[in-house]
Structure 1
Amino acid sequence: MTPPVTPVPASALVAPVSCWADDEVRERTRRTRRRLLLAAARLFGEDGYHGASVADILAAAGLTKGALYFHFRSKYALAEALVTEVQRSWLSIEIQIADRGLDPLWRLLVETDAYVARWMYDAVVRGASQALGDPELLAMRGHWFERWETATADLLVDASAAGLLAAEVDPRRAARAVVAIATGNYTLADGPEDFWARMTESWEGLLPVLTCPAWRAGWADSPWHTRPAPDPEAYRLAREP
């Protein structure tokens, strides 16, 4: 039986922009905490976790040791808080995309765009990702990629159940391939724009193999191919303290 394919409006294909997910209501406390996290993220992104000292982070944030230790016990605690913020702000994005009523494959495409855009322009995500390459944080890194692969597999399993995948596609093996390709593109890309272009080209190669003819035809005629690239300024403003 051929599954129904509903046209997707261009507005539903725009990746939501990251925003803070912390729940601190006191403005002064919230701003101080965010300044510390942003300073740590930017220095982790430039110098790595090991290369960024507490003194460097405080200087970049324009804050004192007292301010740091009021919020975080150590540099390691800062890194943990960054990863927590990445996870919580991602949950907000997932909810926004889920509310659009897309089928599992379209949802996967928009979620992947959002993931890629955060890697490109979200200072918190970029800093946390760079920090997780340090041996001291490898346990957190494994959890990060495990969650991404599981979420991708779940969407592809749902797509398979709906008849949207080609009959011979194993959704869990396909999920591993998607995550590996995205990670490889991030490593190989010559800057953010190249990363976005590489992921677009990767999907253009993968989707004709992964999907059923009806879904593939709908995708070929969709506005996905002219969707806007992420706006770096929007991501910068969204992470202002």
Structure 2
Amino acid sequence: MLSGVKETHTQRVPATAKGEATRAHLLRTAAAIFAERGYAATTQSDLIAASGLTKGAFYFYFRSKADLALAVLQEQKGRWLTEVGERVLAEPTASQQLRALVPTMLDLISREPAAWSVTRLTRELSADPALAADVSKVPAEWLAFIADVIQRGQADGDLRAGLKPELVAAVLVGAFDGLKDLTDVLEPGDRGGVAFTERVHTFLALVELALVTPA
């Protein structure tokens, strides 16, 4: 092990403030590129050029594109669970938390488009058998968070009973991600923002009718 450096199976994590700042810069840069182009269309050279680092400096932190992509996935997952989780759970009831979920997610994507790299990376990296086990943990944690909101709402009588929370969570996440993919095809580029928001709010209205019990 290098002095002052802690190694994991995928990356080297620096112990100094400067090293941590450089690593954070790499993660932000890579997240933006992966969100825009996807994993397969992004080359190692693209990532190195965008980072502004030398090849040697880049490889000090991440030994491959896959290692960097996994690190981006973990970092962005933590951001989703922290930022979205804190805002959603600040609402007093499960039904209000469900209502807050989509607007909060839209706000995060609007402020930080790179946050969308989670979905693209999860889809692309899961196709690699060597990475699939690690990648599957990311959506699993997100689904568990949403399923917990559904389960508590059912227990409190705020949300319709009789549906499995895990299945409801999977449908909600799948629909949200699917609407983004559809919008990217129908209205590519910057034009997709408004269309995606309108479609998601329509979806949220349908969810409210289907899941939220009358007051």
Same fold (TM over 0.5): yes
Using the TM superposition, name which of 153-162 and 165-174 deviates more. Answer: 165-174
With structure 2 as the length reference, what TM-score do the two structures score?
0.75
Is 2:151 the counterpart of 1:150? Answer: no
1:113 alignment partner in structure 2: 103
> For the Cα contact (< 8 Å) 1:32–1:67, is it kept in 2?
no
CA distance in 1, matches of 2:110, 2:101: 14
Change over 3 Å in CA distance of 1:103–1:121 after alignment to 2: same
Change over 3 Å in CA distance of 1:27–1:116 after alignment to 2: same
Which residue identity is paired with 1:69?
A: Y
Is 2:113 the counterpart of 1:103? Answer: no
Unaligned regions of 5+ residues in structure 2, if any? 1-12
1:65 alignment partner in structure 2: 55
Q: Percent identity?
A: 27
Change over 3 Å in CA distance of 1:54–1:42 after alignment to 2: same
Q: How many residues align?
A: 192
Q: CA deviation at 1:93?
A: 1.6
Deviations 1:106-140 (A, max 9, x none): 11232333334444552442234323332335444
SS of equivalent to 2:158? coil
2:160 alignment partner in structure 1: 166
Unaligned regions of 5+ residues in structure 1, if any? 1-22, 215-241
Which residue identity is paired with 2:178?
A: G
1:187 alignment partner in structure 2: 181
Q: CA deviation at 1:183?
A: 1.8
> For the Cα contact (< 8 Å) 2:34–2:117, is it kept in 1?
yes
> For the Cα contact (< 8 Å) 1:104–1:156, is it kept in 2?
yes
With structure 1 as the length reference, what TM-score do the two structures score?
0.68
CA RMSD of aligned residues (A): 2.7
> For the Cα contact (< 8 Å) 1:132–1:140, is it kept in 2?
no
> For the Cα contact (< 8 Å) 2:84–2:104, is it kept in 1?
no
CA distance in 2, matches of 1:131, 1:112: 21
